[in-house]
Structure 1
């Protein structure tokens, strides 16, 4: 006989999200590793990956939270290393804030530039925007080469973004690039180790956008 499986009654997107957050809150009781706005960011990351264990490796700072919310409230540009991360930032949150989302992969001539320089498109994309990052948000969820290129540019004196969301995923230099970011002086959110991805990087910005929208009301 097949086992009876009880389904949760939540059915609409908002009901499912609210129910998911309630389950996460119940599974991670107080005292939580993050509080207030930082918990909203952390909880959305957990929700996106379906994994409460990432909390031990999440590195979120109050400085990064404040800088990110303020940048969004002032209609910044959010640069992303992939189109997937850009797709994870819905217009319903970005448009009311006047925020522009620009994936590096959409920059004109990027493939030719990367080929000429013998580097990845992500690294070439970071180089192309490095001089206009002041006050903006950089989201890297896929390419360690992009995060390494950003850190190198900042070390050379490029203007720093308001916030770096650095969560590349994978086995080659993902963990190393995120450790370097965490050791850096620039406001950032990161997820140490191999886990990460465009979806969880975008989740951080979505949580910040919700906080920014709430402060406008």
Structure 2
């Protein structure tokens, strides 16, 4: 292939990533890609420089950047003052994106308020939908009528408990290609945070379910980052399975991500303790990003060999990076991409796996042992 003279088809083949000639022409219209020279037959001709430029666009787009953001990033010069200006522009655009998310979240909440209703609410729901078509909201009277409609629908909550499974059936995307255990795990994570959009961010290695079941059945050790995570575990089932729980940063005063992160950095003993994790254990990280980073490093250096890592720390820079490191590990894992996480989500993931192995006992006599 002559990289000095590529047709548009050869350009897209060289870049890959799902890029099509139509997308390239669109990037020309937006100014993301410079207009190429033309052959005598009026074909667009591209150079290696165009290949590199398009690869950068694809890479940034895959990371979640919008095209207008990408254009500003690619055009900025490396001088400090220009970079500062770019950061201010990106911050302004971030705020605009967050406002759009907030508006979409309000729309989603309204739809969930209708779609999430169980069978007991169907009659009232039908009445509300019928009246919404006729509702005039231009006046204060109309707005009051809307509030009355929701109040009528909400009145049904006093007549029966919420049917979570029925609501999820209407709201969750199609998960039929996933195993039954995986579907249950994802459903429990959604219930733990109340956000259906979480589904697209949950990542499991293909062997995560099988590895967890094998380890739990073998009475593996459960290692959590701080006591808050340990408190959220289903200790009833874990005791019956014979799986002891060990807290890495075992200071009862440490209850937040900030405290966990600082403690791990300031006290070498926690890092040394991490190096001594039992082979075949299940590690559950719900708060400190640096703990997950250190675990990934120790796995790479073959210092530890857990059966499964549930990595869901909280944070805005280190946490997403730590999760990306986890995705590259050769061991089974479960994580939630991005900044979202927390001890409740991490514990919920393990609890869902444990639940698939053992019915919850009615007897709590083990507490007195």
What range is the shorter-chain TM-score in? 0.7 to 0.9
Cα RMSD, aligned residues only = 2.6
Q: 2:332 aligns with which of 180, 187, 207?
A: 187
Q: Is the 8 A contact 1:151 1:181 kept in 2?
A: yes
- Partner of 2:358 in structure 1? 213
Superposition TM-score, scaled by structure 2 size: 0.50
1:69-88 correspondence runs (5 A) = 69-88=213-232
Is the aligned partner of 1:41 residue 2:185?
Answer: yes
1:129-168 correspondence runs (5 A) = 129-168=274-313
Q: Residue 172 of structure 1: CA displacement? A: 3.1
Q: Residue 33 of structure 1: CA displacement? A: 6.3
Is the aligned partner of 1:119 residue 2:265?
Answer: yes
Q: Is the 8 A contact 1:126 1:150 kept in 2?
A: no
In structure 1, list runs of 5 or more residues that go unmatched. 108-113
Larger of the two Rg values belongs to structure: 2
Greater length-normalized contact order (CA 8 Å, ≥ 6 residues apart): 1
Q: Is the 8 A contact 1:71 1:137 kept in 2?
A: yes
Q: Is the 8 A contact 2:203 2:337 kept in 1?
A: yes
Give runs of ≥4 in structure 1 deviating > 6 Å. Answer: none
Is the aligned partner of 1:106 residue 2:234?
Answer: no
Superposition TM-score, scaled by structure 1 size: 0.82
Q: Specify whether residues 127 and 42 from structure 1 end up closer, same or farther in structure 2 by C-alpha distance, changes over 3 A only.
A: farther
Partner of 1:169, secondary structure, is coil
Is the aligned partner of 1:27 residue 2:171?
Answer: yes
Is the aligned partner of 1:172 residue 2:317?
Answer: yes
- Partner of 1:54 in structure 2? 198
Alpha-carbon separation, structure 1, partners of 2:284 and 2:216: 13
- Partner of 2:20 in structure 1? none
Alpha-carbon separation, structure 2, partners of 1:124 and 1:175: 25
Is the aligned partner of 1:6 residue 2:127?
Answer: no
Alpha-carbon separation, structure 1, partners of 2:353 and 2:271: 23
In structure 2, list runs of 5 or more residues that go unmatched. 1-143, 252-259, 360-369
